[in-house]
């Protein structure tokens, strides 16, 4: 190729910036939320020197201000296949499989995100991407109608797909084409205030499930939220009303803790937005649609399979015993019970590591390096940490939580009666549509941890062999 390709990481940064700008002009409340989050993050960093040091150690201070996730909902296998190719241009790859049908949401999903440490550090932009499961529509006539509508639409511009093909063939895009790609790809995520269906069809789809109407009635999968990362979600939640924003009643995920785990999220309800529908004669008819909402999140340490099992069990027990109503009844009791039950989840970094509940990044300390090779050679990793030769910092959770995602979906779909689909999860069909098997997030965290430990031990003059049996 003539010009040198620019890095996928750089294309992702261009894209996420363009997306953020587009969303800020489309949804003014998003701008207000960004201001509030920036304010809270600055205050939290000033007040918590330990947190600041840990973020600096992990190279996370720079990424924080650009860190966002969004979500889209797709309608067909072909759309999912092509979005994987589009995201690959930006260094984003599918990670994890989320089945939301168990929570009454007729979709399954993956998250596109960077997977390498360097890419995550640059800009960990993620997009939760779900695929509608038309097989969960019982009404066969309606299912066929939805299928036909979806089959006729093209959510990518022809030029976007051309540029994807060029990138695949050449192994990258040069500067000019990268800029063009960003502009073209952005079109897929844009809001359309005119529906492709009649109001009558919209209502039928809506009746089957609001989400089905959201996916099927429009030209493209409008980005439905863009979430900044805060260092103190409780402070942002408390500050939202002051900014004219009404948050949902409970924060999803684990309770507030000294050592944050996984992911805590809260959202505010989307506004009803005016939509132009067509009547049978093709004339315009005014209606509304509710899809876009706001969300914030606080990220904590990634949990091992063992830690995740404990998390899931504790969360399930609270949700079983305290149900929060659609209007927020019992929210206080839920929060109190959540904190109480999570009392049995260790809340100390050293303990979380020792019990293998969470993933950590290891680094050699100055003191450890100064005593390189000496008495340390007989120590276990545990002893090296305790002796201060190794430092540990939490590896941030880069993914999503299905129960939280379902809660976010539900709260934005309104207080509809909760259905739950009994059909089996259909991972095979999802992977076939995607044209790839999503990466296993636990494996990615384990690799990161292992690589950091190898590097740190090397710096301490200790070979992997020496610590092998004692890790």
Rank residues 299 and 308 by Cβ distance to Ni ion and give the closer one: 299
- Restricted to residues 405-444, the positions that interact with ligand OOG (CB under 6 A) are 405, 408-409
- CB of residue 405 vs ligand OOG: minimum separation in angstroms? 3
Contact between 73 and ligand OOG (CB under 6 A)? yes
Backbone angles phi, psi at 305, to 5 degrees: -60, -40
**Contacts (CB under 5 A) with Ni ion, residues 223-262:** 227
Name the binder of 448 from Ni ion, ligand OOG, none, CB < 5-8 A by kind: none
Q: Which stretch binds ligand OOG (CB under 6 A): 178-186, 343-351, 398-406, 452-460?
A: 398-406
Residue 6 Cβ, how far from Ni ion at the closest point, in Å?
28
**99 versus 393: smaller Cβ distance to ligand OOG:** 99
Binding mask 261-280 for ligand OOG (x = CB under 6 A): ----x---------------
* Closer by beta carbon to Ni ion, 184 or else 295: 295
**CB 260, min distance to ligand OOG, A:** 16
Residue 155: which of 183, 184, 177 has the closest Cα? 184
| Candidate ranges 139-147, 328-336, 372-380, 397-405; the one touching ligand OOG (CB under 6 A) | 397-405
Label each residue of the chain as H, E or C.
CCCCEECHHHHHHHHHHHHHHHHHHHCHHHHHHHHHHHHHHHHHHHHCHHHHHHHHHCCCHHHHCCCEEEEEEECCHHHHHHHHHHHHHCCCEEEEEEECHHHCCCEEEEEEECCCHHHHHHCCCEEEEEEECHHHCCCHHHHHHHHHHHHHCCCCCHHHHHHHHHHHHHCCEEHHHHHHHHHHHHHHHCCCCEEEEEHHHHHHHHHHCHHHHHHHCCCCCCCCCEEEECCCHHHHHHHCHHHCCCECCCCECCCCCCCCECEEEEEECCCEEEEEEECCCCCEEEEEEECCCEEEEEECECECHHHHHHHHHHHHHHHHHCCCCCCCCCHHHHHHHHHHHHHHCCCCHHHHHHCCCECEEEEECHHHHHCCCCHHHHCCHHHHHHCCCEEEEECECCCCCHHHHHHHHHHHHCCCCCCCCCCCCCHHHHHHHHCCCCECHHHHHHHHHHHHHHHHHHHCCCCHHHHHHHC
Q: Which does 224 bind (CB under 5 to 8 A by kind): ligand OOG, Ni ion, none?
A: ligand OOG
Residues 243, 33 contacting (CB under 8 angstroms): yes
- Least distance in angstroms from the C-beta of 410 to Ni ion: 13
Nearest-approach distance from CB 150 to Ni ion, in angstroms? 23
Question: Shortest gap between Cβ of 130 and ligand OOG (angstroms)?
Answer: 6
Contacting range for ligand OOG; rule: CB under 6 A; set: 50-58, 326-334, 400-408, 423-431: 400-408
Could you give the string, one character per residue 263-302, with x where binding to Ni ion holds by CB under 5 A and - elsewhere? --------------------------------x-------
Residues 110-169 that bind ligand OOG (CB under 6 A): 128, 130
Instruction: Give the range of 189-197, 370-378, 399-407, 418-426 binding ligand OOG by CB under 6 A.
Output: 399-407
Q: How far is the CB of 275 from Ni ion (least distance, A)?
A: 23
- Contact positions with ligand OOG (CB under 6 A) in 210-249: 224
Closest CB to ligand OOG among 23 and 400? 400
Closest residue to ligand OOG, judged by C-beta, is 405
Interacting residue ranges for Ni ion, rule: CB under 5 A: 227, 295
Interacting residue ranges for ligand OOG, rule: CB under 6 A: 71, 73, 128, 130, 224, 265, 295, 400, 404-405, 408-409
């Amino acid at each position: 190729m003539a010009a040198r390709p620019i890095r996928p990481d750089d294309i992702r940064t261009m894209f996420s910036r363009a997306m953020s700008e587009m969303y800020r002009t489309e949804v003014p409340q998003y701008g207000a939320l960004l201001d509030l989050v920036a304010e809270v993050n600055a205050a939290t960093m000033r007040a918590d020197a330990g947190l600041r040091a840990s973020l600096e150690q992990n190279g996370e201070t720079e990424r924080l201000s650009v860190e966002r996730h969004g979500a889209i909902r797709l309608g067909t296998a072909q759309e999912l296949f092509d979005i994987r190719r589009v995201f690959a241009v930006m260094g984003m790859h599918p990670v994890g499989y989320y089945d939301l049908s168990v929570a009454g949401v007729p979709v399954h999903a993956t998250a596109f995100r960077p997977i390498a440490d360097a890419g995550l550090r640059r800009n960990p932009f993620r997009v939760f991407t779900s695929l509608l499961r038309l097989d969960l529509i019982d009404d066969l006539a309606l299912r066929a109608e939805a299928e036909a509508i979806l089959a006729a639409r093209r959510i990518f511009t022809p030029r976007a797909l051309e540029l994807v093909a060029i990138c695949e063939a050449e192994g990258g895009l040069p500067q000019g084409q990268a800029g063009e790609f960003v502009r073209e790809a952005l079109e897929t995520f844009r809001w359309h205030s005119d529906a492709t269906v009649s109001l009558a069809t919209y209502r039928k789809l809506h009746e089957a499930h609001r989400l089905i109407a959201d996916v099927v009635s429009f030209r493209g999968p409008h980005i439905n939220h863009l979430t900044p990362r805060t260092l103190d979600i409780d402070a942002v939640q408390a500050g939202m009303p002051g900014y004219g924003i009404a948050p949902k009643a409970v924060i999803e995920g684990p309770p507030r803790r000294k050592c944050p785990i996984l992911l805590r999220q809260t959202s505010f309800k989307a506004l009803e937005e005016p939509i132009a529908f067509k009547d049978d004669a093709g004339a315009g008819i005014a209606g509304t649609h509710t899809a876009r909402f706001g969300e914030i999140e606080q990220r904590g340490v990634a949990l091992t399979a063992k830690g995740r099992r404990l998390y899931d069990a504790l969360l399930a027990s609270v949700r079983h015993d305290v149900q929060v109503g659609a209007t927020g009844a019992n929210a206080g009791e839920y929060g109190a019970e959540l904190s109480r039950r999570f009392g049995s989840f260790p809340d100390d970094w050293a303990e979380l590591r020792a019990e293998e509940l969470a993933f950590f990044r290891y680094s050699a300390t100055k003191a450890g390096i100064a005593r390189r090779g000496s008495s340390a050679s007989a120590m276990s990793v545990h002893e090296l940490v305790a002796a201060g030769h190794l430092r540990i910092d939490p590896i941030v959770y880069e993914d999503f939580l299905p129960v939280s995602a379902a809660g976010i979906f539900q709260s934005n779909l309104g207080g509809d009666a909760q259905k739950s689909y009994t059909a089996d999860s259909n991972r095979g069909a999802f992977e076939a549509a995607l044209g790839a098997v999503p990466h296993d997030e636990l494996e990615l965290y384990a690799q990161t941890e292992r690589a950091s430990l190898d590097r740190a031990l090397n710096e301490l003059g200790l070979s992997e062999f020496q610590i092998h049996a004692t890790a």
